[in-house]
Amino acid sequence: MRLSGTVVVDSETVVEAGAVVVEGSEIAAVGPADELADRYPDHEHRAFDVVCPGFVQTHVHSVQSPGRGLADDTDLFEWLEDHILPIEAEMTADELELASTLSYVELLAHGTTCCVDHLTVDHSERAFEAAGDVGIRGVLGKVLMDRNAPEGLHEETNAGLAETRALVERYHRSYDDRIRYAVTPRFTPTCSEACLRGAREIADEYDGVRIHTHASEHESVLDHVTDERGMGDVEWLHEVGLTGEDVVLAHVILTSERERKLLAETGTHVTYCPSSNMKVGAGIAPIADYLDRGINVALGNDGAPANNTLDPLAEMRQATLLQKVAHRNPRTLPAETVFGMATRNGARAAGFDRVGRLEPGWKGDVVGIRTDTSRGVPLHDVYSYLVYAATGSDVVFSMVDGDVVVEEGVVTSVPVREVYRRARAAFEGREWGDGA
């Protein structure tokens, strides 16, 4: 297939009147449209206003989609304990698969072709199956919680680690290596030392398995860890082995100088979730400082209840505007930098070597975006448009591994209207927890 338009190769290179040729699961060529039309005259041709790499989000909670709109205007622990954990504890296997499918449909329709997904304790295999069926590229992980967990989510340490190993064996590098595994402790308050060290042991046993957890997200988390361990959250994670190139830490808002040095020295990845952090009043992550230190920073929407949308373009806008406010400097985090965070930086964090850039030999994860709206006229700079003006509704085409999964803005891999109908029937008006 030959895709033509203004081709955004990465955060530095744009080919005006360009094209991308995809053969099989990989990109075969990138260059001027007229030259590639001559070289590949028999390839199916699709024309778009903008062609760019698929977006990569490195912190989402697909299973939380039933809670969208139920946990607004609450602080983190009220949000979690009163609203989100009851949903996770009560969902059946069928409901979890439906919830994950709903999220994957939203992600793909808005241009996210790869995600790192923090699931829940039970029924995780159904999310892996859903991701495979919908066609998204993903790094998924069953949640580990062996202490301070509510009924329905608490599990014994060895049982949780054993199930993790079984899931790794079954799903890591499945679906032609499109689906991979991340060992996923929820966060330090709900995980014992044995659990955290066990997570590291499992990750070390399997090539390409990541570790994904929350870190330094809120003052209450820091207070808990400091009181218990006498150190910061990132320091404790480092102590038990949960830093390094294979580790993706979500949020990372409140860090000391020593912790920032640890993140840089160990090559640990950070996921910036600005909308979620603002919505629960958690604070502003020191992203500009992280980038200055050479820390790889990616982006994440977090879950639907903490954001209300899984739109990567909206998150790029939030990411840069919040940093400009924090630093009182309009030059902080320019559009090109944020675009890189949402593409190549995210792919690096997720562990995919040939994702996040349009280059021959790289994976055919490509999106087509329209500019024929009032927000796209006039169009002076494509990075500016993508970061400051575009929304997920402007995505009209998505391809993962060379397979078309979105046409004319609609996911084609599953019956979307039926997914919506089933989700409304299962979740609208549902009372969770004590009200169930």
Task: Give the pLDDT confidence of 8-59 residue by residue, as tens digits.
Answer: 999 999 999 999 999 999 999 999 999 999 999 999 999 999 999 999 999 9
- What CATH number does residue 290 fall under? 3.20.20.140
For residue 163, the SS3 value is: helix
| pTM exceeding 0.85 | yes
- Whether residue 84 has pLDDT greater than 90: no
Q: What is the pLDDT of residue 162?
A: 98
Q: Which residue segment(s) compose the domain that 377 sits in?
A: 2-53+354-411
For residue 336, is it within any domain?
yes
Q: Which residues contact 228 (CB under 8 A, 6 or more apart)?
A: none
Q: Which residues contact 421 (CB under 8 A, 6 or more apart)?
A: none
Looking at the fold, whether 71 and 14 belong to one and the same domain comes out as no
Average confidence score pLDDT of the chain: 96
- Whether residue 74 has pLDDT greater than 90: no
Select the more confidently predicted residue: 305 or 194: 194
- Whether residue 311 has pLDDT greater than 90: yes
* Spatial contact of 400 and 112, defined as CB atoms under 8 Å apart: no
Looking at the fold, whether 59 and 49 belong to one and the same domain comes out as no
Q: What is the pLDDT of residue 373?
A: 94
Average pLDDT of the residues in 132-156: 96
Q: Among candidates 268, 120, 277, which has minimal Cα distance to 186?
A: 120
Q: What is the pLDDT of residue 354?
A: 98
Q: Kindly state the helix (H) or strand (E) to which residue 56 belongs, with its residue range.
A: strand 55-61
For residue 31, is it within any domain?
yes
Looking at the fold, whether 78 and 204 belong to one and the same domain comes out as yes
Q: What is the pLDDT of residue 434?
A: 60
Q: Which residues contact 169 (CB under 8 A, 6 or more apart)?
A: none
Average pLDDT of the residues in 352-374: 98
* Spatial contact of 178 and 350, defined as CB atoms under 8 Å apart: no
What is the band of 147 on the pLDDT scale with cuts at 50, 70, 90? very high
Looking at the fold, whether 42 and 130 belong to one and the same domain comes out as no
For residue 158, is it within any domain?
yes
Q: pLDDT by residue (tens digit) across 234-268? A: 999 999 999 999 999 999 999 999 999 999 999 99
What is the band of 432 on the pLDDT scale with cuts at 50, 70, 90? confident
Q: Among candidates 132, 144, 205, which has minimal Cα distance to 173?
A: 132
Average pLDDT of the residues in 300-314: 95
Looking at the fold, whether 121 and 242 belong to one and the same domain comes out as yes
- Whether residue 435 has pLDDT greater than 80: no
Least confident of 277-281, 399-403, 418-422: 277-281
Q: pLDDT by residue (tens digit) across 333-357? A: 999 999 999 999 999 999 999 999 9
Beta bridge partners of 176: none
- Whether residue 134 has pLDDT greater than 50: yes
CA distances from 56 to 152, 324, 408 (A): 31, 23, 21
Average pLDDT of the residues in 168-177: 98
Select the more confidently predicted residue: 155 or 76: 155
Looking at the fold, whether 211 and 268 belong to one and the same domain comes out as yes
Q: What is the pLDDT of residue 76?
A: 75
Q: How many domains does the chain have?
A: 2
Looking at the fold, whether 168 and 183 belong to one and the same domain comes out as yes
Looking at the fold, whether 364 and 334 belong to one and the same domain comes out as no
Looking at the fold, whether 178 and 302 belong to one and the same domain comes out as yes
Average pLDDT of the residues in 319-345: 97
Q: What is the pLDDT of residue 436?
A: 40
Looking at the fold, whether 212 and 114 belong to one and the same domain comes out as yes
For residue 428, is it within any domain?
no
* Spatial contact of 114 and 136, defined as CB atoms under 8 Å apart: yes
Looking at the fold, whether 369 and 388 belong to one and the same domain comes out as yes
Looking at the fold, whether 68 and 47 belong to one and the same domain comes out as no
Q: What is the pLDDT of residue 362?
A: 98
For residue 135, is it within any domain?
yes
Average pLDDT of the residues in 147-163: 95
Beta bridge partners of 430: none
